[in-house]
């Protein structure tokens, strides 16, 4: 089952100068601390940079819990950003992208736990993280995408569960790597994700 963004078909791409998505993201409720993670990226084995992301357990608790549990077991380490489209988004997190042939990247593992949709009013602006899925709105698993430009046609159709706090320049570089006709990078763009705690966390707007 291919986890693609079905809403992309026949829609013009939107570009923007925004670097963050603060305008549409409500502050967390009192007492809620949004978890942060560091995504370190390499391209063809060479360091490309890192991104700090923040997730929204108050907006999409099931998606956040699933992501957090996968990070805790090192699931994402060695997976790829297997689909990159300049002016739109970068997508990754498929277990097939660890060791299986590139032709299988993006199709996921049928044994993976599916997460039901958690749609919200948060818009798909530059820097937003949302859950990739198949045609069924309740088919999200481990794959996610990061918007590198505003994508309003996705609003209310995909589950937003986080945003990039720092490192959108890295996301932009990922989006611009050489790719094939399937938008799969020619040279692997690999990720490693760890959860941040204490002084590792960066301040956010409340």
Per-residue pLDDT, 24: 78
User: What is the per-residue pLDDT across 35-79, written as a single tens digit (0 to 9) for each?
Assistant: 999 999 999 999 999 999 999 999 999 999 999 999 999 999 999
User: What is the per-residue pLDDT across 144-161, written as a single tens digit (0 to 9) for each?
Assistant: 999 999 999 999 999 999
- Count Cβ atoms below 10 Å from residue 95 Cβ, excluding itself: 21
User: What is the per-residue pLDDT across 69-127, written as a single tens digit (0 to 9) for each?
Assistant: 999 999 999 999 999 999 999 999 999 999 999 999 999 999 999 999 999 999 999 99
What are the φ and ψ backbone dihedral angles of 36, each rounded to 5 degrees? -120, 150
- DSSP assigned state of 153: G
pTM (two decimals): 0.90
What are the φ and ψ backbone dihedral angles of 13, each rounded to 5 degrees? -80, 145
The answer regarding whether domain 6-10+33-200 maps to CATH 3.40.50.300 reads no
The answer to whether 161 and 180 have CB atoms below 8 angstroms apart is no
Per-residue pLDDT, 204: 81
Strands (E), 46-104: 46-55, 81-85, 89-92
Per-residue pLDDT, 205: 66
Query: Which of the pair, 26 or 172, is modelled with greater confidence?
Result: 172
| Of 129, 103, 114, 89, residue with least CA distance to 8 | 89
User: What is the per-residue pLDDT across 168-180, written as a single tens digit (0 to 9) for each?
Assistant: 999 999 999 999 9
């Amino acid at each position: 089952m291919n986890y693609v963004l079905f809403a992309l078909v026949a829609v013009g791409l939107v570009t923007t100068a925004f670097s963050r998505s603060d305008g549409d993201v409500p502050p967390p409720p009192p007492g809620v601390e949004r978890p942060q993670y560091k995504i370190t990226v390499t391209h063809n084995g060479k360091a490309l940079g890192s991104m700090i992301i923040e997730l929204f357990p108050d907006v999409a608790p099931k998606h956040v819990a699933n992501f957090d549990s996968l990070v805790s077991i090192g699931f994402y380490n060695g997976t790829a950003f297997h689909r990159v489209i300049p002016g739109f988004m970068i997508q990754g997190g498929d277990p097939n992208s660890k060791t299986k042939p590139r032709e299988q990247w993006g199709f996921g593992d049928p044994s993976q736990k599916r997460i039901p949709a958690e749609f919200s009013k948060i818009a798909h602006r530059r820097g937003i993280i949302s859950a990739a899925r198949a045609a069924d709105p309740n088919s999200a698993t481990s794959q996610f995408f990061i918007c590198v430009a505003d994508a309003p046609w996705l609003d209310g159709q995909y589950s937003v569960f986080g945003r990039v706090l720092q490192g959108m320049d890295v996301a932009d570089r990922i989006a611009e790597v050489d790719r094939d006709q399937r938008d799969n990078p020619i040279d692997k763009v690999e990720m490693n994700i760890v959860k941040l705690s204490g002084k590792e966390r960066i301040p956010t707007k409340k």
